Amino acid sequence: MIFDRNEKKEVIALLGAGSMGTAIVRRIAAGRKILLGDISEKSLEKVSHDFKYSGYDVETMIVNALDKSSVEAFAQKAASLGDVKYFIDTAGASPNQAKPEHILALDMVGTGYAVDAFGKVMAKGGAGLIVASQTGYMYPIPYETELEILNTPTEKLMDLPFIRETAMQRSGIAYMIAKRVNQLQAQKAAATTWKARRARINTISPGVIVTPLAYDEFAAAGEGYQKMVDASAAERCGTSDEIAEAGAFLLGEHAGFITGTDLLIDGGVIASIRTGVYKLH
């Protein structure tokens, strides 16, 4: 049976087939073409099956987000399917899953590769969304250092003294810095490469969101996360569906004047830290 006879569909590309990314895609995918990219063939099979049996038009591609050529091939594949209207990047590793080098290579450099690659293929009026983290607000980076990061090509980021000497200290610090860099990467792209394509790009910074990936963090540092949640204004964890609502807004037409910015979605965790209600250790 042919479910959709429409041709020349707008394309949605998702890098990282996790629960937050797929929840965002579901909000905007009706009548559009979905391209899923992930390093795990098993994850791609499961997610694409769920999309197909929900009536969506989906293709998959194995992508190594650490490899520049692999990410560029993913962007070219998306462009071959039609006008790339939306790009969402959720690929990354959490502090208790990897060493600092891997976190920085994937969450920082890998994200930069994706922002750069899709900055060459986005359709006019398109929009991108990078999933960063509330932790991007937890480790202040000196202004001069942020300017240096903004003016450094993606493939040179690991060579910066700040990255080598500070970010490499611990996985937690590497993650915080990588997520702040994600916010800076979106700012830079919004003003340069993505602007040239007449496309927008933003980041969202989720707080403690319950996902399968998050359970690894809860198992390793559950007590700390519990205290953080208890000190927040919401006094609960968030859900992927709540992230999807915000993501769909930033990608949609009602956010047409929003680009190069970050939306913090953390239930008030950062507010509690900045006011001293909760203290990081």
CA distance 208 to 228: 9
CA distance 17 to 36: 7
- Among residues 73, 69, 22, which one has the least CA distance to residue 44? 22
Instruction: With beta carbons less than 8 A apart as the criterion, state whether 100 and 174 touch.
Output: yes
- Among residues 209, 240, 133, 212, which one has the least CA distance to residue 178? 133
Residues forming beta bridges with residue 57, ordered by sequence position: 33
| Choice among 56, 86, 175, 278 that is catalytic | 175
Structure tokens at 61: 């591609």
CA distance 30 to 14: 15
Instruction: With beta carbons less than 8 A apart as the criterion, state whether 204 and 262 touch.
Output: yes
CA distance 222 to 122: 40
Instruction: With beta carbons less than 8 A apart as the criterion, state whether 126 and 197 touch.
Output: yes
Please confirm, yes or no, whether 188 is among the known catalytic residues.
no
Please confirm, yes or no, whether 179 is among the known catalytic residues.
yes
| Choice among 85, 179, 188, 278 that is catalytic | 179
Buried b or exposed e, range 17-35, using 16+ CB within 10 angstroms? bbbbbbbbbbbbbeebbbb
Residue 120 neighbours by CB distance under 10 Å: 15
| Collapsed DSSP state (helix, strand, coil) of residue 223 | helix
Among all residues, which ones are annotated catalytic? 175, 179
